[in-house]
Structure formats: structure tokens, C-alpha cells
Amino acid sequence: MKFHPYGASGSSRSTLATFAQVKEASILKIEKDYEWGKDIADSIQQMSYIDMNRFLPIKAESNETDPNLKKQQNESYVMIFKEEIKIYSERKTMLEKISPVQQH
């Protein structure tokens, strides 16, 4: 997608794009081109960082009564949790790194 500051048709040089049109085009481009672009776009639209805590993973605990099965399930849950935390951290870092909104 090429950016043109002129109207949607691009044929009339007398019709400039509005701020809202430029902002919307920029947001759509960010959503498309960046990993976790939706987070960045939401932050731009809100003019503040989105609350990343709502995406913070929670480690599951086994409800098994058999100790061997419980241990095995909990080990699996730990592996899953570690991967989810890694993804969460990458997502949060990307938002903080790229987003032009100042975090307070």
C-alpha cells in the first residue's frame, strides 16, 4: 500500500486527505505489517497503552488425585506456562518498543 496525502481517488490534487483518513490508513498499515500490530493500533486509537495485564498468562494446576498423574500434568502445565510467558513478553516488548504513545 502506498501512502498518498491526497483524497481517496488520488486523481484530484485539490482534495487533501483529512487527519482522520491519514490516521486510519496508518493504523491499518500497522495492523497489517507488524507482529502484534493490533495492540499497537489499539494503543494509538486510545492514545494510551492498552492494559497488557489482561493478557498475562495464568499457570494451571492439576486437579488429579493420583500423585503421579498430578505431577505429570503439572510439569506439562509449567512447560505451557513458560511458552505463554515468552509470547506475552514478546508482545509487551513489541508494544513498548514500537508504539509512539508515551507510557506513564
DSSP 25-93: HHHHHHHHHSTTHHHHHHHHHHTS---GGGG---------SSHHHHHHHHHHHHHHHHHHHHHHHHHHH
Phi, psi for residue 23 in degrees, rounded to 5: -60, -45
The model's pLDDT over 35-54, given as tens digits with 9 standing for 90+, comes to 888 888 888 888 888 888 89
70 confidence band (pLDDT: 50, 70, 90): very high
What is the spatial distance between Cα 48 and Cα 57, in angstroms, rounded to a whole number? 22
Q: Find cell 501512502 and name the residue.
A: 3
Predicted TM-score (pTM) of the model is: 0.63
What is the spatial distance between Cα 74 and Cα 70, in angstroms, rounded to a whole number? 6
C-alpha 80 chain-centroid distance: 20
User: Which range (53-57, 89-93, 94-98) has the least confidence?
Assistant: 94-98
